[in-house]
């Protein structure tokens, strides 16, 4: 069994993907070709924002967003402690200080009350200027933007949505559906192969309704280009999306919209059906929670066991049965070696610390079968009964 079966997806989409790649090969336009423009238009349409600017990867997308806003030394950027390193790395790389905020135990996303408290604390200390909140749509579930945006607005902060894992998620409110990557003042995503919408290499995108920020992002991703390519008006980077990746994404995006997003949601429901009895019997601490009116794109299906021993044992037993599982994530940002200089102590962000010891992500993708889900669930039950 595969954790995320990308080969099964390729087998399904092979004719179209092969044709799309060959078209690019024949076109000679390997950078900035037609597929790139098509993708940007289609993604912006789907997400429901004015601008989509593609770039080389999700990390660059975050960096470009921070550069657009001129974030740097002396600025505080609030980041959930339980996330992939890039969410915080990009902040530090710009010379700003990431301030880590604990997450909600059920959704794994930023805790808005703790965010409020963290911002207030930085304001009171007065050493750094609070500028941005990075909210991560972890494991496919949009962060609680109703609350996060309210807190950010009250403190005069911008919201940067790290939607690397969240593309396809949504929140229904007041009779309308708002999609992930439309919640932040700027939002970013990643097309790393294992993300909900992935290409066959690296890729990323920036989303915003703001014309000026979109134009700045366009410039920054091509060496700070001005009105023509060899007039460079600012220091930028080289962060384009290859035509061939865009062509692959155009094919995959169609499948994503037509059935993959539904398929992962069905798969998540199956897991929950199979695993709920184990939770009711006290063997599993928690199954993924999708709050009312939220839709997840299920980048991961992540459960919590009661102890680190139970988690580690489960992972070993699954592995013995040929079932891969992953620990996303074993270490919170505040305990990353690279951030040791920030002076956090163990015990300071207890929810993240507990999650790092107890979470386990199970095989999950649109092409997983009911039989496979049942096999994973049975094996997990066996492991927990031992
Ligand atoms: C994957 C990921 C990124 C970085 O994306 P890349 O395309 O790998 O650079 C950033 N943030 C989160 C939350 C991610 O999961």
pLDDT tens string 250-309: 999 999 999 999 999 999 999 999 999 999 999 999 999 999 999 999 999 999 999 999
- Asked if residue 328 has its Cβ within 6 Å of ligand 1, the reply is no
Q: How far apart are CA 66 and CA 55, in angstroms?
A: 14
Q: pLDDT at position 227, please?
A: 86
Query: Residue 229's pLDDT band (boundaries 50, 70, 90)?
Result: confident
How much distance in Å is there from the Cα of 381 to the middle of ligand 1? Answer: 32
pLDDT tens sequence across 72-94: 999 999 999 999 999 999 999 99
Measure the CA–CA gap between 142 and 167, rounded to whole angstroms. 9
**What is the Cα 129 distance to its own chain's centre?**
26
Q: Which atom of ligand 1 is nearest the CA belonging to 202?
A: 7
How many Å is the maximal CA-CA distance in the chain?
67
Which pLDDT tens digit goes with each residue over 194-212? 999 999 999 999 999 999 9
Determine contact, residues 301/365, Cβ cutoff 8 Å. no
Question: Which atom of ligand 1 has the smallest separation from the CA of 62?
Answer: 10
Q: Is 162 exposed, middle or buried (0-12, 13-18, 19+ CB in 10 A)?
A: buried
Q: Which DSSP string do the residues of 363-383 spell out, in sequence order? A: P--TT--HHHHHHHHHHHHHH
228 CA to centre of ligand 1 in angstroms: 31
pLDDT at 174: 86
Quickly state the pLDDT bin for 103 (edges 50, 70, 90).
very high
| pTM (two decimals) | 0.98
Please state the atom number of ligand 1 nearest to the C-alpha of residue 299: 15
Secondary element (H or E) of residue 310: helix 308-320
Cα–Cα distances in angstroms (integers) from residue 184 to residues 89, 126, 148, 161, in the given order: 19, 26, 10, 5
Dihedral of CA atoms 315, 320, 324, 328 in degrees, nearest 10, equals 20
Atom of ligand 1 nearest to the CA of 61: 9
Q: For a substitution probing ligand 1, which of 81, 87, 202 has the most ligand atoms within 8 Å of its CB?
A: 87
């Amino acid at each position: 069994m595969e954790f995320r079966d990308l080969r099964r997806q390729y087998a399904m989409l092979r004719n179209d993907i092969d044709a799309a790649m060959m078209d690019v090969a024949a076109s000679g336009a390997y950078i900035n070709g037609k597929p790139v423009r098509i993708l940007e238009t289609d993604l912006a349409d789907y997400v429901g924002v004015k601008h989509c600017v593609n770039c080389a990867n999700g990390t660059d997308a975050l960096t470009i967003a921070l550069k657009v806003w001129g974030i740097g030394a002396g600025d505080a950027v609030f980041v959930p402690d339980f996330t992939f390193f890039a969410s915080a790395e990009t902040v530090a790389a710009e010379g700003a200080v990431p301030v880590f905020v604990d997450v909600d135990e059920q959704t794994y996303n930023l805790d808005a009350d703790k965010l409020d408290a963290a911002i207030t604390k930085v304001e009171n200390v007065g050493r750094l200027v609070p500028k941005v909140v990075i909210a991560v749509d972890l494991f496919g579930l949009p962060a609680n933007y109703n609350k996060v945006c309210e807190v950010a607005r009250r403190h005069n902060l911008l919201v940067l949505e790290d939607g690397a894992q969240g593309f396809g998620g949504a929140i229904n409110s007041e009779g309308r559906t708002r999609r992930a990557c439309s919640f932040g003042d700027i939002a970013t995503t990643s097309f790393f192969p294992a993300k909900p919408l992935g290409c066959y290499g690296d890729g990323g995108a920036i989303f915003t309704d703001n014309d000026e920020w979109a134009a700045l992002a366009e410039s920054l991703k091509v060496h700070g280009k001005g009105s023509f390519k060899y007039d460079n008006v600012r220091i930028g980077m080289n962060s384009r999306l290859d035509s061939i990746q865009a062509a692959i994404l155009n094919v995959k995006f169609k499948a994503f919209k037509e059935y993959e997003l539904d398929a992962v949601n069905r798969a998540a429901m199956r897991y929950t059906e199979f695993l709920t009895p184990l939770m009711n019997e006290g063997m599993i601490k928690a199954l993924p929670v999708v709050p009312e009116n939220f839709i997840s794109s299920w980048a991961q299906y992540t459960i919590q066991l009661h102890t680190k021993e139970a988690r580690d044992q489960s992972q070993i037993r699954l592995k013995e049965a040929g079932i891969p599982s992953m620990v996303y994530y074993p270490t919170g940002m505040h305990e990353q070696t690279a951030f040791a200089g920030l002076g956090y102590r163990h015990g300071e962000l207890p929810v993240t610390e507990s999650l790092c010891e107890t979470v386990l992500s199970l095989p999950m993708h649109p092409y997983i079968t009911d039989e496979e889900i049942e096999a994973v669930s049975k094996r997990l039950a066996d492991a927990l009964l031992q």
